[in-house]
Amino acid sequence: MAKNGEKTIAPVAFIRTDFKEKFGIPRQSGRAKSLMGEIVFEKQFQNPDALREIESFSHLWLIFDFSLAHREGFFPTVRPPRLGGNKKVGVFASRSPFRPNSLGLSCVKLEGIRHTENDGDTLLVSGVDLLDGTPIYDIKPYVPMADCVENAKGGYTEGTAGHRLNVVFPEELKNRLPEDKRQAAIECLTDDPRPSYQEDARAYTMAFAGFDLTFEVNGDTLFVRDVKIL
């Protein structure tokens, strides 16, 4: 333990997901319920006893590192994407990755434990919103009695929570994706991967599960134009 209560912490695990790049990752956990991840523990934590009773819970909290958002100095305000990228709010009134300690909090659904020879017991989770390789500092069970607050206020997020796009995904292009990846891809596209201040019809490309998905948006409809293997 360092002076003044400071402590150096190290990851207990990392997560494998279908996103090698930030663009397209759902902005919050649970927005793409079919998006899977696998939590792999560091060697010193690959003890089955550490997971005893974890399967009695349906959901988990992940405390993780916004590993690509590290920066020096303290910035008291941020620009939430869903407010158009123009309005500033306090960093502690946001879930921006650009924060003093770059810590994130994500709630995921536990789908089961996978027993492996090389990685020990891993956790299969869904509804993820994390980049592939994201370091995880801690895992805690979601406890409905304590974690679900009735009549809680959502502040400025309430006006954008329902934002969704209609996705037109031609069967020929959809079938280029592995069958078990198609629904997750659609859910991520439905969540509108574009920066919120972009309202143009330019073509965007989302790298997902080893494929490049190119799309355009017109109004509230997203059109998938191409799917290419990386």
pLDDT digit string, tens, across residues 67-103: 989 988 999 999 887 676 778 999 999 999 999 999 9
Query: d(Cα 60, Cα 62) in Å, to the nearest integer?
Result: 6
Query: d(Cα 32, Cα 167) in Å, to the nearest integer?
Result: 14
Contact by Cβ (8 Å): 141, 61: yes
CA angle centred on 23, ends 66 and 169, rounded to 5°? 140
What residues does CATH 3.30.2310.20 cover in the chain? 164-229
Query: d(Cα 66, Cα 101) in Å, to the nearest integer?
Result: 9
Stretch 40-57: mean pLDDT: 98
**Which of 218, 203, 168 shows the shortest CA–CA distance to 189?**
168
Sequence-ordered list of residues with C-beta below 8 angstroms from that of 17, at least 6 positions apart, any chain: 35, 36, 37, 128, 130, 131, 132, 134
pLDDT attached to residue 1: 46
More confident residue, 189 or 1: 189
DSSP 179: G
Stretch 92-116: mean pLDDT: 95
Q: Which CATH topology does 164-229 take?
A: YaeB-like fold (3.30.2310)
Poorest-confidence range of 37-46, 85-94, 219-228? 85-94
**What's the chain's length in residues?**
230
Give, in order, the Cα–Cα distances in Å from 167 to each of 195, 213, 225.
17, 12, 11
pLDDT attached to residue 156: 86
Q: How confident is the model at residue 31 (pLDDT cuts 50, 70, 90)?
A: very high
Phi, psi (5° rounding) for residue 83? Answer: -100, 15
Query: d(Cα 169, Cα 176) in Å, to the nearest integer?
Result: 11
Q: How confident is the model at residue 199 (pLDDT cuts 50, 70, 90)?
A: low
What residues does CATH 2.40.30.70 cover in the chain? 3-67+102-148
pLDDT attached to residue 38: 98
Kindly tell me if the per-residue pLDDT of 194 is higher than 80.
Answer: yes
pLDDT attached to residue 44: 97
pLDDT attached to residue 214: 98
For domain 3-67+102-148, which CATH number applies: 3.30.420.40, 2.40.30.70, 2.40.50.140, 3.30.9.10? 2.40.30.70
Contact by Cβ (8 Å): 26, 36: no
